[in-house]
Amino acid sequence: MSGEVGAAATAAVERLVRDVPDFPEPGIVFKDITPLLADSAGFGAVIDGLAQAGRDDSGAPVVDKVLGMEARGFIFAAPVALALGVGFVPVRKVGKLPGETHEVSYELEYGEATLELHRDGIGDGERVLLVDDVLATGGTARATHDLVRQCGGTPVGLAVLLELGFLSGRDAIGDLPLTSLSVV
């Protein structure tokens, strides 16, 4: 991403997100965000960088809601929503939301996952920014995109700290604009 805000956010991700090899299983390099969260200046820079994805060139917010994917997406999406002055909406794993939901199931490397969104979480025609920590295969992002559509909303972008380029998650989200603070 470009500009001073984007450069500070990218620097924070590259300095403070830690690689943990072979977690949670052999062969996976886990991107550990906890050192970033523990650094107030770095965390703030990342929130400002992600929030840029929900602004126009003049800095005005262009979204009605910010949606975060359970669980690490919540940590970033909620402060991004506050920065933009709009509401936060959670997408949760199946069985956690108490109200009427839409649900989407999708393939994981081993097995299947189901995500849910409250039917009244997104209003008809609302513009929604999706936020998560890591874009890997894109399955989670694709499912979340489809949930927003089921509610009648319009996904206007996906903002992530890290894009694992070798997994081609970008291909899974079609023409949804992607903001990645860092690509590995």
Residues that bind ligand AMP (CB under 6 A): 28-31, 69, 72, 132-141, 169
Cβ proximity to ligand AMP, 30 vs 154, nearer residue: 30
Least separation in angstroms between CB 27 and ligand AMP: 10
Of the residues 15, 109, 116, 149, which is catalytic?
Answer: 109
Least separation in angstroms between CB 169 and ligand AMP: 5
Cβ proximity to ligand AMP, 119 vs 170, nearer residue: 170
Of the residues 4, 72, 127, 163, which is catalytic?
Answer: 72
Least separation in angstroms between CB 12 and ligand AMP: 17
Least separation in angstroms between CB 141 and ligand AMP: 6
Cβ proximity to ligand AMP, 20 vs 41, nearer residue: 20
* Tokens describing residue 32: 């550990």
Is 109 tagged catalytic? Answer: yes
Range list of H helices, 17-155: 34-37, 40-51, 72-84, 139-150
Please, which residues have CB within 8 angstroms of residue 100's CB and are 6 or more apart in sequence?
A: 118, 119, 120
Please, which residues have CB within 8 angstroms of residue 106's CB and are 6 or more apart in sequence?
A: 112, 113, 114, 115, 139, 140, 142, 143
82, 85, 100, 170 from 54: Cα distances, Å: 12, 11, 27, 19
Cβ proximity to ligand AMP, 72 vs 145, nearer residue: 72
* Tokens describing residue 145: 């995109």
Q: Which residues carry out catalysis?
A: 72, 109
